[in-house]
Structure 1
Amino acid sequence: MTGQKADDIVTAAFLVIGDEILSGRTKDKNIGFVADYMTSLGIDLKEVRVVPDEQDQIVAAINALRTKFNYVFTSGGIGPTHDDITAESVAAAFDVPLNLDPRAVAIMEKHYEPGQFTPARQRMARIPEGADLIENKVSKAPGFRIENVHVMAGVPSIMQAMLDAIAPTLTTGRKMLSRTVAADMPESRIADRLAAIQDAHPETLIGSYPNASDGKFTTQIVIRSRDEAILTAAAQDVAQAVAELLGS
């Protein structure tokens, strides 16, 4: 796939791998970035999972997600230490060998000074058989793509660079458009009207987000649709409902 547009909705899941995330030692910074990035491309991020550095759980998650969504993106577990087991786990999920990849070895040998491409660093050149490499402009150790699964680093700057590298290869759907209507009232006051508007415009998603400041409650209403005309009609209905309630 090479950056094609799809008429249908394109979906994705994000799998975060690492004991350090689940223990709280590391605060995840990738989920929000990936969600924004996918939305900007026109890909619906439908599910996020966080699993520990345990092969059976990684394998189970990958095999569940890759059959359910168009794309799976993973972060974490492809570093040089003994507990970085994502590459082994992905190879196990696809039932293929995991070997030192000559392409990855060449990239990393060129990057490191003579004698610095240690056995630990060589672990980062192990790639499942049949996978393509994902360029890493930050620290050179590549990620990889096998079928619809994209395996990337956990370090945010590296993961983001890898996303930039693969973005042109992804098939994307129609982008979700949005409008926001501000309502100077509590969410509860407009909830029934929003439910009716949602029913009248089934091709939209309407969310309400309350806010309280100095004891005053207000609501931001966000209307989303892939169709501009449908979005405009629904947003007009929401604005009219807000105006009527404020005037009553």
Structure 2
Amino acid sequence: MSDHETAITAAVLVIGDEILSGRTKDKNIGYIADYLTAMGIDLKEVRVVPDEEVEIVAAINALRSRYTYLFTTGGIGPTHDDITADCVAKAFGVDISHDERAVAMLRSRYENPADLNEARLRMARIPHGADLIENPISKAPGFRLGNVFVMAGVPSIMQAMLDNIGPLLKTGRTMLSTSIDAQGTPEGAYATGLGAIQKANPGVIIGSYPSFDGKSFTNQIVVRSRDEALLQTARSAVEALVAELVAARPTKVP
């Protein structure tokens, strides 16, 4: 099968004014990316939107129609600006109300029934038709509706929810990766040749990644593919390009 036929794709929608203002530093995107990559799922897009209904609904509808899965983080707490659940319901055109399953989960956390106040009960409002995602840490559940998985923004809770989601996801062919050291060759010297190799090897993805240690730049060329044979063919071509450029360097006079 081709990569196009086997690819399972995903997007992440991060919801919250606190992320956009810089008050909270996102720790979820990288974790989700690593988690999905290990399952052979391609994370293709990440968006960050404010706590505004029109923005959230538009992003949900755009991303859920474009990718196999959409994962959202944030906006499912007890405060007035936690509107993710309502926005998901609106995006799908379904009603939302207190879900008795979610209420029971919250009751298991609070020994005193009076502690389960109106604000906390907001976390039990679930769009109709959704399946719950268990939360072993604070009990307030996330939920799944269609191909959209709604999770908490708190990293430890999000990670626990993601572990519960994992078995439900379709897995794809794992993306293989290999790196080639450019051996001091600047990107400008190999950019044209690398582009030609990419064009000749459509089954691979080639990227060039410079880093700076405070004194000098080093470049790593990374080749990725789901096909081992294609990966090695492209790697050999990149190695040959680098070797040719290194050999062509002027000899330094001592």
Normalising by the smaller structure, the TM-score range is over 0.9
Cα shift at 1:212: 3.4
Per the alignment, residue 173 of structure 2 pairs with: 174
Q: Structure 2: how far apart are the matches of 1:17 and 1:214?
A: 35
RMSD: 1.4
Cα shift at 1:25: 1.1
Cα shift at 1:205: 0.6
| Runs of 4+ that moved beyond 2 A | 211-218
Mapping of residues 207-226 of structure 1, within 5 Å: 207-213=207-213, 215-226=215-226
Instruction: For structure 1, list consecutive stretches of 5 or more residues without a partner in the other structure.
Output: 1-5
TM-score by length of 1: 0.94
The C-alpha deviation readout for 1:161-197, integer Å capped at 9, x for no partner, is 1111101100121111100001112111211221111
Cα shift at 1:157: 0.9
Q: Structure 2: how far apart are the matches of 1:212 and 1:86?
A: 40
Mapping of residues 142-181 of structure 1, within 5 Å: 142-181=141-180
Q: Structure 2: how far apart are the matches of 1:211 and 1:49?
A: 26
Q: Structure 1: how far apart are the matches of 2:104 and 2:165?
A: 20
Q: Structure 1: how far apart are the matches of 2:223 and 2:187?
A: 15
Q: Percent identity?
A: 63
Per the alignment, residue 231 of structure 2 pairs with: 231
Q: Structure 1: how far apart are the matches of 2:213 and 2:126?
A: 53
Cα shift at 1:72: 0.6
Q: Secondary structure at the match of 2:72?
A: strand
Per the alignment, residue 21 of structure 2 pairs with: 23
Q: Structure 1: how far apart are the matches of 2:125 and 2:79?
A: 13
Q: Secondary structure at the match of 1:72?
A: strand
Return the letter of the residue paired with 2:158.
M
Aligned positions, number: 243
Instruction: For structure 2, list consecutive stretches of 5 or more residues without a partner in the other structure.
Output: 249-254
Contact 1:77 1:83 in 2 (8 A): yes
Q: Secondary structure at the match of 2:108?
A: helix
Return the letter of the residue paired with 1:212.
F
Mapping of residues 23-62 of structure 1, within 5 Å: 23-62=21-60
Contact 1:187 1:218 in 2 (8 A): no
Cα shift at 1:104: 0.7
Return the letter of the residue paired with 1:34.
I
Q: Structure 2: how far apart are the matches of 1:104 and 1:171?
A: 26
Deviates more, 1:122-131 or 1:32-41: 32-41
From 97, 100, 104, give the equivalent of 2:98. Answer: 100
Return the letter of the residue paired with 2:234.
A
Return the letter of the residue paired with 1:135.
E
Q: Structure 2: how far apart are the matches of 1:214 and 1:86?
A: 43
Contact 1:14 1:48 in 2 (8 A): yes
